Amino acid sequence: MSNVNQLASALKEIVGEANVIQDPDRMKAYAVDGMTPKAVVNPGSVVELSKLLAYANSEKLAVVPRGNGTKMAQGGIPRKLDVVLSLLRINRITEHDVPNLSLSVEAGMTLAAVQEKLAGTGKGSFLPLDPPYTDKATIGGIIATNGSGPRRYLYNTARDLLLGLKAVFPNGDIVAFGGKTVKNVSGYDMTKLMIGSWGALGVITEITTKLLPLPEASATLMVSFEDLGKAGSLTRKVLHSSLLPSAMELMDGKAASQLGEEGKYLVAFSLEGVGEAVERQVAEIGEMGKKEGGIDAKVLKGREDRIFWMRVRDFALASKSHVILKSNFVISKQADILGNYENWAQAAGIDCAFIGHAGNGILTTYIPENGVAKTDPLVDLIGKFTAEAVKNDGNLVAESCPTELKAKIDVWGGPRTDVVVMRRLKEKVDPVGVLNPGRFVGGL
């Protein structure tokens, strides 16, 4: 029996023949950076997942966990790929504590399905995360990559929301960290370490998280500017005021035009909460925008409000971006760095659109296919962007990137001080290198 057939036989014994894919044409959809797995396996329980990883560990197989694949273009090129591990069948809400606003949900459920369920239960609640591709992105994938969106300005990220999680380690051990009661413990906070660890330490199978009541009302205020400095001044004044929008996005004219809006620069605010408070904040920020030199203001409500933020969140789809770069830096430098990025991109002849979380010091660069064709200038440009972010106490990560470009850049940006700690943890929990070898920071 060949090694491939032996592998297929072992996998089928664990999860059943119907849950193992080996057809070459079907497996092409599961390739990672041009590497096609020997098999795709779809366990239906945590016990099956545990057995699969224990087998992979014993056979020294390389396993890449996967949800719906919305983040598979991110990360380094795998050193090896034997099995793609789908989490889509592990997809139940295991506990919903409506009075205490907490939820336990398995990794394979999509965020959109979770939000729909929460909105229709009791008075309605929601999980305050809004990463890209919410309709398809699974809970496990969002947590493993620490996905977030515009509303992180008010609601923060998964690290601030999660109470605990369950996972399976590379040797097959089933583990649980944290829970509904938050305790002070010594040593590593493993819940936080697993968030954003890219499945390098273990496969997340379930999370327990805080929820929030649905806001009574919401609205969007957009203020357009001809001058970047004035747009940046407005965001800083709102940031240092008592006003509290749920999102505050600063974007260039290319991004604004693709969203159907006008102006060389656009600042968009999402306001949520009690109806009167929303109206008051719309009026106050609108007045501040006029004083800062805004040339036009626009308010969206109801369906238009919701659609606008969906389009901002999923901008990569509408813009058909082939490269997505996320930079972070000190918040006060948002407008300055956007201006520098614009100038450098223009000088390189590379078409870019920019959208930034103005209250968080994060700027996302979207580059369409024609920009990717200029490989050497693009490599130089990414180097300039990264150096600028690092100089301002941040870094740059390529969130989506073709394989040929990955071979010429570090998709995780400049050197990081946490690599040594992560390497020691990886060596401790995954000495064989079963999970996602080569895809995480430092080639872990």
Q: What is the mean pLDDT of each successive set of 10 residues along the chain, which is 444 residues long?
A: 79 94 93 95 97 97 96 93 97 96 97 96 94 95 96 94 95 88 53 92 96 96 97 97 97 95 95 96 97 96 96 88 94 96 96 96 92 84 97 95 92 86 92 95 88
Phi, psi of 119 (to 5 degrees): -65, -30
Question: Nearest to residue 166, comparing CAs of 85, 90, 72, 89?
Answer: 90
How many other CB atoms sit within 10 Å of the CB of residue 392? 20
* CA separation for the pair 175, 85 (Å, rounded): 18
| CATH 3.30.70.2190 for domain 217-313 | yes
Question: Nearest to residue 201, comparing CAs of 442, 428, 417, 438?
Answer: 428
Q: What is the pLDDT of residue 180?
A: 64
Q: What is the largest CA-CA distance in the chain?
A: 76
Q: What is the pLDDT of residue 184?
A: 40
- Residue 330: partners with Cβ closer than 8 Å, 6 or more residues away: 361, 392, 393, 394
Model confidence, pTM:
0.93
How many other CB atoms sit within 10 Å of the CB of residue 5? 10
Strand partners, 248: 269
Q: What is the pLDDT of residue 375?
A: 84
Instruction: Judge contact between 91 and 43, C-beta under 8 A.
Output: no
Per-residue pLDDT of 284-307, as tens digits, reads 999 999 999 999 999 999 999 999
Q: What is the pLDDT of residue 2?
A: 57
* CA separation for the pair 4, 11 (Å, rounded): 11
Question: Nearest to residue 374, comparing CAs of 354, 395, 347?
Answer: 347
| CATH 1.10.1740.10 for domain 3-86 | no
> For the sheet containing 353-357, what is the strand order?
296-301, 217-225, 265-273, 247-252, 353-357, 362-368, 321-328, 395-400
Phi, psi of 182 (to 5 degrees): -85, 125
> Do 217-313 and 93-213 fall under one CATH topology?
no
Say how many CA atoms lie within 13 Å of 24 toward its Cβ.
1
Q: Domain 315-406: give its CATH architecture.
A: 2-Layer Sandwich (3.30)
Domain boundaries, the chain: 3-86, 93-213, 217-313, 315-406
Q: What is the pLDDT of residue 183?
A: 44
| CATH 3.40.50.20 for domain 93-213 | no
Distances (CA, A) of 275 to 150, 214, 248: 21, 12, 19
Tokens coding 384: 């300039």
Encoded amino acid at 93, one letter: I
Per-residue pLDDT of 39-86, as tens digits, reads 999 999 999 999 999 999 999 999 999 999 999 999 999 999 999 999
* CA separation for the pair 388, 308 (Å, rounded): 30
Instruction: Judge contact between 235 and 267, C-beta under 8 A.
Output: yes
